[in-house]
Amino acid sequence: MSSTYKLLILGAVIVATYFVPSIIEVFAVLNFTVYIIMGMLALSLAFVWGMGGIMVLGQSAFFGLGAYAYAIGALNFGAGWEAVAVSIIVPAIFAALLGYFMFYGRISDIYVGVITLAVTLILFNLINSTSGPQYKIGSARIGGYNGITSIPTLDWPNGSMIDINGMFYLSVGLLIAVYLMVKFYLTTKYGKVTIAIRENEHRAELLGYNVSLNKLITFSIGGAIAGLAGCMFANWGAFVSPTLFSLVQSAQIIIWVIVGGRGTLVGPILGCIAIQWMVTQLGTQQTVNVSFVLGILLTIFVLLVPAGLAPLIAGTIRKAFGRVTKKGSALAKEPNS
């Protein structure tokens, strides 16, 4: 796709975003905002796994840490840039620490997957067990399985409140900004090495690249992005709970990426939005369990559509466009015949 096309698509997305709140109901705007925030979470894994080749099964750990860091930060020193910074830095540092042990220990992919999953499960148990009044950080009680409620939320820089529509715009704006930053990073020398490591770790090392360090950086950037998504989530509902760390949450992120397509950035974001929508629809009925549907979906995709939907859709579009151009040229020839 040419860069003109990409700019056109980006422009269309921005215009559509502007009009969405005036078309759909308030409740739908609220829901859609969460889809977009989760889209950023999907983007974080699309980057770490799809681009960096690091299979993280417990990406929700950083999402949850970001959300909790924002909540605790905002309760201690107000809903300002400090709390946002904390929500990005805490998960990034946590990722760097964990990454140091994993990547410098040079363990293989599946072990990274298993360990990150174990980390998020144990964080879930840990936070769950902190319901007593003795568990607090500064003036913020962690609250155990009840989570933290009434979190102070962000205002616009000019001091006016961020309303429901404003939150939607902010989420879309941040998602686009982070997406563009990730895209840019991948064109830098470091970013190219990240992709090279996904392709062939051993060769990258033999060329003189410090694979462990690059993976650690990739993993930490992914943690930071997931943390920012967590921060947005905490702002969205003014509420965080241990379920942010749960196994189902971790599984969903994986499913978004698998369904959307490993190896692309846009695919997982779209996959995330589609599946979130599906989950919301399923939530309105009682007969079929959501977890059951998600599980079947994951297994079927791995078995039958391992590359995800993005390459499939891209292929279809390319074919459609190809046909159009052919038709066009055939029409152009007609007068001569």
Q: What is the binding site for other proteins (CB under 8 A)? A: 55, 57, 98, 100-102, 104-111, 113-115, 117-119, 121-122, 125-126, 128-129, 189, 192-193, 195-196, 198-200, 202-211, 246-248, 251, 254, 258, 287-300, 302-303, 306
The least distance separating other proteins from the CB of residue 262, rounded to whole angstroms, comes to: 10
Task: Please check whether residue 145 is in contact with residue 128, taking contact to mean a CB–CB distance below 8 angstroms.
Answer: yes
Count how many Cα atoms sit within 13 Å of the Cα of residue 59 in the half-sphere of its side chain: 33
Kindly tell me which of 98 and 221 has the beta carbon lying closer to other proteins: 98
The least distance separating other proteins from the CB of residue 163, rounded to whole angstroms, comes to: 36
Kindly tell me which of 104 and 277 has the beta carbon lying closer to other proteins: 104
Strand partners, 141: 136
Alpha-carbon span 303 to 258, nearest angstrom:
11
Kindly tell me which of 85 and 307 has the beta carbon lying closer to other proteins: 307
- Taking the chain, what is the end-to-end CA distance rounded to the nearest angstrom? 33
Query: Residue type for 306, please?
Result: P
Listed residue (49, 41, 2, 55) closest to 234, CA to CA: 41
Listed residue (174, 170, 180) closest to 47, CA to CA: 180
How many beta carbons lie within 10 A of that of residue 196, not counting itself? Answer: 17
Kindly tell me which of 171 and 246 has the beta carbon lying closer to other proteins: 246
Kindly tell me which of 108 and 158 has the beta carbon lying closer to other proteins: 108
